């Protein structure tokens, strides 16, 4: 952007005021340039002189991050009381922290932050109790992208229409929730645009999934959702344009997160949210908003294991003739019989087949 340095310009504090209206990506690129300049004047890597802590004492939570920088939420003094009102600080991420096949950081991660020469630095990341992750499917180093860490609830957000309700993605999120130890709930938004709930809703209700029917336009269902989120840390996930950020704005109008109308040409969301971030809402709600995704690559599931993540199919499979029945082409298959007889909804079976076939052909295990 070619910003010139003005003499006498006041140095900005490293403690940032929270301003959620800002575009975070712009924040990071701005900071990146600013800190590069600052680092250039420091003796080589003096910030990284202290050894990384051997025993981790987490004192902050990641709000959002880029490759080199993280916004964290912590007590005003790093060793301060938990009861102190938290502040958001911009930290460098210690470049010695190992980058493996799994994301180093995600919103919700507990980290150890230390101050060194007036700069706050993330020195360590605690292991995660729960997570929402996806397989990147790419050829690069990063194989498992952690979307959110240490969350209690996964709110799978779908729209009743615009964009159309797609049970296939819901099924994948249900598997991802099981893999990461997170409790899933389903939120069907934009109910103001239809006369009745999408057909598949009852199917999920029968499976025992907790369902919230909401409208950001009329406010329907928002109080019930708010009650469920209170006192917990949750993550909102789903296709672009289903209204994830709009839900947050309705739950706490002070947030004013950027939202975007659907594209008229494709009737799809236009990726208004570009990076995941943790928000603190009124009423003790802590929630991670995430960018809309097209598909969810599953991590750590083999095609043979898929049926274990469809509980009703797993139960039926004990009656199949072959123990290693794929439930796709075998003749004496209790699962296919159940579909034929209407005992197993064909939609769920189609989802099972899609997930299984995709795992076989995508080779997402490499």
Determine contact, residues 237/155, Cβ cutoff 8 Å. Answer: yes
Separation CA 120–CA 60 (nearest Å):
11
Separation CA 105–CA 111 (nearest Å):
9
Q: Does 268 bind ligand GTP (CB under 6 A)?
A: no
Using the 8-state DSSP alphabet, how is residue 193 labeled?
Answer: G
Q: Does 245 bind Mg ion (CB under 5 A)?
A: yes
Measured CA angle at 58 (ends 66, 231), to 5 deg: 85
Of 52, 47, 90, 97, whose CA–CA distance to 70 is shortest?
A: 90
Residue 320 binds which entry of Zn ion, ligand GTP, Mg ion, none, with Cβ cut-offs from 5 to 8 Å by kind?
Zn ion
Peptide bond just before 229 cis, omega within 30 deg:
no
Separation CA 143–CA 135 (nearest Å):
6
Tokens of 315: 């139960």
Binding mask 252-291 for Mg ion (x = CB under 5 A): --------------------xx------------------
Residue 335 binds which entry of Zn ion, ligand GTP, Mg ion, none, with Cβ cut-offs from 5 to 8 Å by kind?
Zn ion
**DSSP E strands: which ranges in the chain?**
15-16, 60-65, 69-74, 87-93, 110-116, 119-125, 131-135, 144-149, 153-159, 183-189, 210-213, 233-237, 277-281, 285-289
Measured CA angle at 290 (ends 181, 263), to 5 deg: 135
Binding mask 292-331 for Zn ion (x = CB under 5 A): ----------------------------x----x-x----
Q: Does 249 bind Mg ion (CB under 5 A)?
A: no
Separation CA 194–CA 149 (nearest Å):
34
Footprint of Mg ion on 281-340 (CB under 5 A): none
Among 90, 132, 147, 242, binds ligand GTP (CB under 6 A): 242
Question: Minimum distance between the CB of residue 245 and Mg ion, rounded to whole angstroms?
Answer: 3
Footprint of ligand GTP on 172-211 (CB under 6 A): 189-190, 192-193
Residue 333 binds which entry of Mg ion, ligand GTP, Zn ion, none, with Cβ cut-offs from 5 to 8 Å by kind?
Zn ion
Residue 271 binds which entry of Zn ion, Mg ion, ligand GTP, none, with Cβ cut-offs from 5 to 8 Å by kind?
ligand GTP
Residue 297 binds which entry of Zn ion, ligand GTP, Mg ion, none, with Cβ cut-offs from 5 to 8 Å by kind?
none
Indicate the residue among 122 and 320 with the shorter CB distance to Zn ion.
320
Footprint of Zn ion on 119-158 (CB under 5 A): none
Footprint on this chain of Zn ion (rule: CB under 5 A): 320, 325, 327, 333, 335
Footprint on this chain of ligand GTP (rule: CB under 6 A): 189-190, 192-193, 215-217, 240-246, 259-262, 269, 271-273, 291-292
Footprint on this chain of Mg ion (rule: CB under 5 A): 244-245, 272-273
């Amino acid at each position: 952007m070619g910003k010139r340095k003005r003499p006498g310009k006041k140095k900005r504090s490293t403690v940032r005021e929270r301003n959620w209206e800002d575009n975070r990506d712009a924040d990071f690129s701005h900071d990146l340039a600013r800190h590069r300049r600052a680092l250039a004047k420091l003796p080589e890597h003096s910030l990284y002189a202290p050894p990384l802590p051997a025993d981790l004492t987490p004192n902050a939570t990641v709000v959002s991050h880029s490759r080199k920088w993280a916004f964290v939420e912590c007590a005003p003094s790093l060793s301060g009381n938990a009861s102190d009102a938290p502040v958001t600080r911009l930290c460098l991420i210690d470049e010695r922290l190992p980058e493996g096949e799994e994301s180093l950081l995600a919103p919700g991660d507990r980290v150890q932050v230390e101050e060194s020469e007036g700069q706050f630095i993330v020195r360590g990341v605690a292991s995660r109790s729960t997570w929402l992750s996806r397989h990147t499917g790419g050829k690069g180093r990063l194989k498992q992208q952690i979307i959110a860490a240490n969350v209690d609830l996964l709110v799978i957000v779908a729209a009743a229409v615009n964009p159309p309700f797609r049970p296939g993605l819901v099924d994948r999120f249900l598997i991802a929730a099981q893999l990461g130890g997170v409790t899933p709930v389903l939120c069907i938004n934009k109910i103001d645009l239809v006369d009745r709930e999408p057909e598949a809703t009852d199917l999920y209700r029968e499976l025992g999934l907790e369902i919230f029917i909401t409208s950001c336009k009329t406010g329907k269902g928002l109080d019930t959702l708010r009650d469920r989120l209170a006192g917990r840390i949750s993550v909102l996930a789903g296709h672009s344009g289903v209204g994830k950020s709009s839900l947050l704005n309705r739950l706490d109008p002070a947030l004013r997160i950027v939202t975007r109308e659907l594209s008229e040409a494709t009737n799809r969301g236009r990726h208004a949210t570009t990076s995941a971030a943790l928000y603190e809402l009124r009423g003790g709600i802590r929630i991670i908003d995430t960018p809309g995704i097209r598909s969810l690559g599953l991590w750590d599931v083999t095609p043979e294991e898929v049926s274990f993540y469809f509980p009703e199919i797993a139960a039926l499979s004990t009656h199949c003739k072959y123990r290693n029945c794929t439930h796709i082409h075998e003749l004496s298959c209790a699962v296919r019989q159940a579909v034929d007889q209407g005992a197993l909804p064909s939609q769920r079976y189609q989802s099972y087949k899609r997930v299984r076939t995709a795992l076989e052909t995508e080779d997402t295990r490499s």
